[in-house]
């Protein structure tokens, strides 16, 4: 598959939307070196497009159309066809070309988001799967699946505003994968009654990156 790399304006647009839609992952991605940061932004931008389906439509049939659109776009990229006229698809095309992430793995993310949408159950959203793929993007030879399995459900539930009695101890991770996982430390802020502000979030993620304790 060969395509024209996304230009600076495309990256800036995706980055801006990600910052608005999923600030937590966006904050962690700031600490990844280029081009890994671009790959994370492409992947997270893709995930945000899927996550926000529940915010745009409520009818199952309309949701199915949107999820199928992304499946078809991934199938076309896997077949070597040029990316569709969509900035995130263009960014995903580069992600597939330059990392070990495959269209098949992204298809499974689509499936998980669709299942969560159909069941009206956000706990089915693929938080752990997203984190595992993010680790693969920033450092392909590293696995943090045990840590992710412990922390991802708690982080996701607290971010949704759900009461969670479980409070896993901080886990230390190596520097190379901190940009993929540092946002998990935000679970400490989300357990408070008052939602965390932008500065508190930034300081929390910075501490996670500096210390490795997430």
pTM, entire model: 0.95
Check: CB of residue 51 under 8 Å from CB of residue 114: no
What mean pLDDT comes out for the span 128-141? Answer: 96
Q: Which pLDDT belongs to residue 5?
A: 80
Q: CATH for 8-211? A: 1.10.600
Q: Which pLDDT belongs to residue 1?
A: 52
What is the tens place of the pLDDT at every residue in 50-70?
Answer: 999 999 999 999 999 999 999
Whole-angstrom Cα distance, residue 137 to residue 100?
7
Check: CB of residue 37 under 8 Å from CB of residue 29: yes
What is the tens place of the pLDDT at every residue in 102-114?
Answer: 999 999 999 999 9
In the chain, domain spans: 8-211
pLDDT over threshold 70, residue 3: no
pLDDT over threshold 90, residue 33: yes
In this prediction, what percent of the chain has a pLDDT beyond 90?
A: 88
Check: CB of residue 1 under 8 Å from CB of residue 96: yes
Omega of the bond prior to 61 within 30 degrees of 0, cis?
A: no
Mean pLDDT score of the chain? 95
DSSP symbol at 99: S
Whole-angstrom Cα distance, residue 213 to residue 93?
33
Four-CA torsion 173, 129, 151, 159, nearest 10 degrees: 120
What is the tens place of the pLDDT at every residue in 151-165?
Answer: 999 999 999 999 888
What mean pLDDT comes out for the span 16-20? Answer: 97
What mean pLDDT comes out for the span 135-146? Answer: 93
Q: Which pLDDT belongs to residue 163?
A: 87
Of 66-70, 168-172, 185-189, 210-214, the range with the lowest mean pLDDT is: 168-172
What is the tens place of the pLDDT at every residue in 179-201?
Answer: 999 999 999 999 998 999 999 99
pLDDT over threshold 80, residue 15: yes
Q: Which pLDDT belongs to residue 143?
A: 85
């Amino acid at each position: 598959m060969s395509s024209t790399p996304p230009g600076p304006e495309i990256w800036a647009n995706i980055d801006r939307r990600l910052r608005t839609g999923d600030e937590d992952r966006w904050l962690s991605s700031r600490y990844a070196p280029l081009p890994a940061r671009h790959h994370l932004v492409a992947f997270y931008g893709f995930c945000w497009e899927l996550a926000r389906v529940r915010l745009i439509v409520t009818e199952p049939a309309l949701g199915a159309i949107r999820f199928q659109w992304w499946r078809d776009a991934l199938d076309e990229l896997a077949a070597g066809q040029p990316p569709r006229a969509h900035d995130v698809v263009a960014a995903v095309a580069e992600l597939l070309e330059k990392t070990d992430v495959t269209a098949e793995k992204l298809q499974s993310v689509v499936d998980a988001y669709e299942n969560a949408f159909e069941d009206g159950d956000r706990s089915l959203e693929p938080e752990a799967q997203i984190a595992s793929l993010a680790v693969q993007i920033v450092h392909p030879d590293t696995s943090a699946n045990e840590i992710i399995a412990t922390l991802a459900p708690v982080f996701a539930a607290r971010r949704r505003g759900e009461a969670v009695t479980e409070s896993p101890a901080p886990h230390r991770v190596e520097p190379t994968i901190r940009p993929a996982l540092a946002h998990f430390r935000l679970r400490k802020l989300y357990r408070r009654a008052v939602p965390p502000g932008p500065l508190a979030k930034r300081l929390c993620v910075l501490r996670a990156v500096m210390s490795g304790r997430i």
